[in-house]
Amino acid sequence: MKRNWVIMAVVVGLAVLAMYQDYVKSAGTIVLPTEQAPKAGYLAPHFALQDFDGRTYSVGGERDKALLINFWASWCNPCEREAPDLVRLYEKYKDRLDIYAVNVTTEDTVEDARAFAERFGFPFPVLLDLDDRVTNTYLVMGYPTSFIVDKHGVVREVVLGIREPKELEKLVRRAL
């Protein structure tokens, strides 16, 4: 009986020692997910799209700033209501936040997208998803849909539809 207690104490001690060593090795290390998916807790799927002037912008991996990817269309009434909020959010956090406005161009026109962006004074890039590839990769089903990505490339929030400006700002601040 006494021998069983000794064996049990040794096993528990070794388990505690192993957990402690694992903790010490990982202390201060950020553990990132390894899979890509358009949902919270996963790496943002990679893509590269061009803006109106042909400049290419990429998503995927580590970044200098957090990123809000907003899928929208010029004919979308909720997108119209959200546009001024995105501009204000960008102006407030532009030193720590990028915004990419991804126009779902298969359901819009480049001309209408450009007019929309000019009307609302978008100070951030408007990217054109000409073949729906990125929209499909991100499983976007309605507009607007936004993905808030931290500096490590991890999706922190998925925002379907519009949110009150203070709520959207709160979600962005969590990712900064």
Work out the mean pLDDT of the chain and round it to a whole number: 89
Same domain, 16 and 52: no
Residue 136's pLDDT is what?
A: 96
Identity of the amino acid at 170: K
Residue 13's pLDDT is what?
A: 56
pLDDT at position 19 over 60: no
- In total, how many domains does the chain have? 2
* CA distances for 62 relative to 65, 74, 136, angstroms: 9, 30, 23
Same domain, 95 and 162: yes
Residue 25's pLDDT is what?
A: 46
Same domain, 61 and 111: yes
Whole-angstrom Cα distance, residue 14 to residue 176?
A: 40
- Give buried/exposed letters for 38-73 (b at 16+ CB in 10 A, else e): beeebbbbebebebeeeeebebeeebebbbbbbbbb
Same domain, 88 and 169: yes
Tokens of 65: 């700033």
Q: pTM of the entire structure?
A: 0.81
- Domain holding 16, by residue range, is 1-31
Q: Which residue has the higher pLDDT, 107 or 23?
A: 107
